[in-house]
Amino acid sequence: MTLNNKFLQNDHLGLIVRLAVGIIFIYASIDKIGDPAQFARIVYNYHLLPGELINIFALVLPWVEIVCGVFLIIGVYKEGSSLILNLMVLAFIIAIGINLIRGINLECGCFSVSSKAKESALWLLIRDVGLLILTAYAFLNRSNRFCLGGSKKA
């Protein structure tokens, strides 16, 4: 796969994917920022982080999501923000995968911190893989059209 691939470097598709990913992550962050205690509980229930790190992780994660989302939409620090989102979605996939193997039916905490929002882990995995394709595209697409900030040309 070359970075000069026409499909990969399409200006318009790049813009659409950036907007979509940006909106998805901003939307995902709002509920968590509003109720950090609830989100911390969900993070705790993944049983992956040491207790001391849970609150700080639950506080910072949604802000990383919202900052990256805004940067992607306006086209500033496009490379860095899409890189972070790729790593984050990868981490989500691993976290959900581990708990799927453990046989624990957990709350995702993806878009909502409500206990009512329960989905099957398999569906969450499929959804995250779809999201990973989008974030990967946003990272590999180096088009600078429709961008506020001059992210360096590859």
Partner 1 sequence: MMVGIKQLVLIVIVSTLLALVVNMASSNRIPLVGNWPSIPGSHTVAVPPSADEGDPTFISLDEAAARFQSSGTLFIDTRDPEDYEFGRIKGSVNIPYDYLEDYLDTLRAIPRDKEIVTYCSGTECELSLFLGRDMQYEGFENIYIFYGGWREWKRAELPTDSGAVK
Among 21, 81, 134, 138, binds partner 1 (CB under 8 A): 81
- How far apart CA 21 and CA 110 sit, in angstroms, is 14
Closest to partner 1 by CB, 4 or 103: 103
Smallest gap from residue 84 Cβ to partner 1 (A) = 5
Does residue number 51 form part of the binding site for partner 1 (CB under 8 A)? yes
> With contact defined as beta carbons under 8 Å apart, do 63 and 33 qualify?
yes
Q: How many residues bind partner 1 (CB under 8 A)?
A: 42
Under the binding rule (CB under 8 A), the answer on residue 62 touching partner 1 is yes
60, 91, 122, 126: which one contacts partner 1 (CB under 8 A)?
A: 60
